[in-house]
Amino acid sequence: MKISVIGSGYVGLVTGACLSEFGYKVVCIDKNKKKIELLKKNIIPIYEPGLSDLVKKNTKAKYLSFSDNLKHIKGSKIIFIAVGTPSARRGDGEADLKYVFEVCKELAKVLNKKDKPIIVTKSTVPIGTGKKIINLFKKFCPSLQYEIDYNVASNPEFLREGSAIEDFLRPDRVICGVNNQVSLSCLKELYRPLNLREAPVLFTDIESAELIKYASNAFLALKISFINEMADLCEKVGGNVQMVAKGMGLDNRIGSKFLHPGPGFGGSCFPKDTRALYASFKKNNVESTLIKSVIEFNERRKLNMVKKIINILGKPYKNKKITILGVTFKPNTDDLRESPSLVIIPKLKKLGIKIYAHDPSYNTTFSSIKEFKGVMWKKNTFDAVKGSDMIVIHTEWNEYRGMDLSKIKKLLKSPVILDLRNIFNKNELNEMGYLYYNIGSKK
């Protein structure tokens, strides 16, 4: 089976590499010629554990190839659309579908009557997008109208950055929204290799599949916000939010995942998708106070972390030095999109505080980000903490869990740690002579 994946960003590249691992012939297509040239040289433009090896292996085996020309979709049984759907610039939270629709229009120009591929959206798109895509093909490529209907389907991705390969090859579930038997049979064949791993493949209508993606991300964002709110209460009245989360998580109706307090959720999915879902509610005149509250609480959360930091640091703020350990929104990725650090660091700098930072995924693009202007980047944690008045652990990289805390303490001007991810044991650090603060316990 030949498969084309249009869009070679995070989702498209992972999808293409993993499908080639199943033995399919996959071509990843992107109009960014520079990106394609890099991929042809096995230079991976994103940080994702295991992805580089997978790409190199399957490129060498001739299962995976790259192109900047749509003509290479010829002979594809399935064409995945995996382009970006950012929030629209007008600020209402709606997903901007211009890239999806541009791809559809370009496809309509190159497909002919002999081609009968399944057009599948991997991109996260609002409910009703599938119908719009069908209408686009009817308008721009009437020769593609089959006896039944256009073969358009929805197959949303559920990839977590940092574990995307595992998530694709060993998924909790696969969701396929289809509008006819042809699409159903084709996608069933595509995911047959997952049968050995007993991964459930759920077939629904297209609209349900589109909504499942948004509903899932919104619910996980809700869990994060809920435990963060419980952490705030624990800090006022006592109790330990980690014990609260553990006790809640033992109930199999709730589960322990995503019950980890922190500085707020970020990344390419949760903030964007909750806003887009709320926009869908508003657009269709359906009230949603719950989703709105999650969005607003998460924005306040980031600002409250700034207050927490400066309250511990104490006045005067000017020329004091804070070390931020980790700036990405989560570990095992170099993704900074909507990371709390993009809010926290500028607010601290505005107060005249000097910011030193370290992140294991650091690359030179970090220094060019306007929110990080003036940040002093260090190659290791020891250089980053030297002479610092305070350490703020922003991202829970494993590298920080194993730090030599005795050596770190000697390098600090003041032995103060604010752990926004609760990676250390409070009693142990207090015994070492640290002034240790975390999330969700009363000082």
Cα–Cα distance, 343 to 375 (Å, whole number): 14
Q: Which amino acid is at 165?
A: I
CA dihedral 54, 55, 60, 66 (to 10 degrees): 160
Cα–Cα distance, 228 to 234 (Å, whole number): 10
Q: Which amino acid is at 193?
A: P
Q: Which residues, 6 or more positions from 197, have their beta carbon under 8 angstroms from its beta carbon?
A: 169, 170
Strand partners, 201: 174
CA 286 to chain centre: 27
Cα–Cα distance, 111 to 123 (Å, whole number): 21
| Cα angle, residue 176 at apex, residues 175 and 177 outer, rounded to 5° | 120
Q: Which residues are catalytic?
A: 269
Selection from 366, 429, 438 nearest residue 396 by Cα: 438
- Burial label for 56, CB within 10 Å (0-12, 13-18, 19+), is middle
CA distance readout (Å), 80 to 151, 232, 337? 12, 43, 24
Q: 160 with 167: CB under 8 angstroms?
A: yes
Strand partners, 26: 3, 64
Q: 234 with 176: CB under 8 angstroms?
A: no
Cα–Cα distance, 28 to 79 (Å, whole number): 10
Q: Give residue 434's region: left, alpha or beta (phi > 0; psi -120 to 50).
A: beta
Relative to beta strand 2-6, strand 78-81 is: parallel
Strand partners, 80: 5, 120
Q: 397 with 380: CB under 8 angstroms?
A: no
* Structure-block tokens of residue 264: 């707020």
Residue length of the chain: 443
